[in-house]
Amino acid sequence: MGDSGGTLWSMRTKTRQPWWSFLPDDELLQMRLKDLHVSLEGSWLQNSVETLNGELKRKGLVQAHAWISDEWFSPDTTPGIAIPFYLAHPRLARLERKMFKDVEGGTRRQSLQILRHEAGHIVQHAYALHRRRKWQDTFGRSSTAYPESYRPNPNSKNFVQHLPRWYAQSHPDEDFAETFAVWLTPRSNWKRKYAEWPGALAKLEYVDGLMGEIAGSKSGLTRRLEVDPVGRLNQTLAQHYEQKLAWYAVDTDTRYDKDLLRIFSNDPKHSHRPPASKFLRHNRVAIRESAWRVSGAYQIALDNTIDLLISRARALKLRAPGREYELRRSLVRLLNNKVAHQ
């Protein structure tokens, strides 16, 4: 997955470590975000932002500024990108991984992927692209309400695949941002890669022509604002993670009982086989990692889903007959289907 976050963060010197970096987790969680005093300046993230701006400059497009906040986002009021606080220091990244089982943007490659995506939002609003009829015909209306969840088609060839979870399918703005990111990425070879994806290729060709048209034009966003900078966030880390974990929580349900009954069995003749719940627990990591490689879904979402499957397998008193690798493969398919359609 590219350079490791640890390798990049190791550039820091021990003499620059903040006092809170030595706190145990329970004490660190009581810290307010504003009291962390983390900054983009001097961090490995600064180089990623500079790389992005070099790519934008070569295309004759607006330059982006960045700041530290509580999550990734790009406001429509400024040509800027908010970067989550946990990327500003390795201690915070370790806490993020412990709490959320993932560090989104934690490598140089991943950070650039997200920055290019967010730059797509900047370009859209800086040049009011969503007001163009052709843009609307290609991507849809930007005014479309964002859904609380979406049901992607993993096999669709009408959308590029850049960020995980088939994110281009979630909203017209995200479709454009993902298409722009693929177009902007050096050596992406998008013409060849998407040659047999007519829908996605048409969008890339439109973006290619559109960017050539607006190159060198004056940006409509000129004020360098910082929206929700970390220095103004009064939340404690504990409150932040409580909200974040609640957002990705999976309610207990029985919708996948039929799928579990297809994979496992409650027939008395299989009573000598190991419990399905035990099989799921023992194979959790292998199943989660295989599912993640296919879908790129948040690992905490995958873990929550596995917890649900374990609970239902226990309630249904299921057993695990058959070959282990076949059972794992079936569970990976089930897992990705559930996470993709939440």
H or E, element range at 82: strand 80-84
| DSSP at 69 | E
Report pLDDT for 166: 86
Calpha distance 309→302 (Å, rounded): 11
Residue 110, Cα to own-chain centre: how many angstroms? 9
The structure's pTM equals: 0.75
Report pLDDT for 155: 83
Q: Is residue 230 within 8 Å of residue 70, measured between CB atoms? A: yes
Calpha distance 104→121 (Å, rounded): 19
Calpha distance 84→332 (Å, rounded): 30
Calpha distance 342→332 (Å, rounded): 16
Q: Is residue 31 within 8 Å of residue 241, measured between CB atoms? A: no
Cβ contacts of 23 within 8 Å, gap of 6 or more: 31
Burial 243-278 (b: 16+ CB within 10 A, else e): eeeeeeebeeeeebeebbeebbbeeeebeebebbbe
Per-residue pLDDT of the chain (342 residues; tens, 9 = 90+): 334 344 455 444 445 799 999 999 999 999 999 999 999 998 899 999 999 999 999 999 999 999 999 999 999 999 999 999 999 999 999 999 998 878 999 999 999 999 999 999 999 999 999 999 999 999 999 999 887 777 788 889 999 999 987 889 999 999 999 999 999 999 999 999 999 999 999 999 999 999 999 999 999 999 999 999 999 999 999 999 988 877 766 544 577 788 999 999 988 888 888 899 889 988 988 998 888 887 777 777 787 788 888 888 888 889 999 899 899 999 998 888 766 555
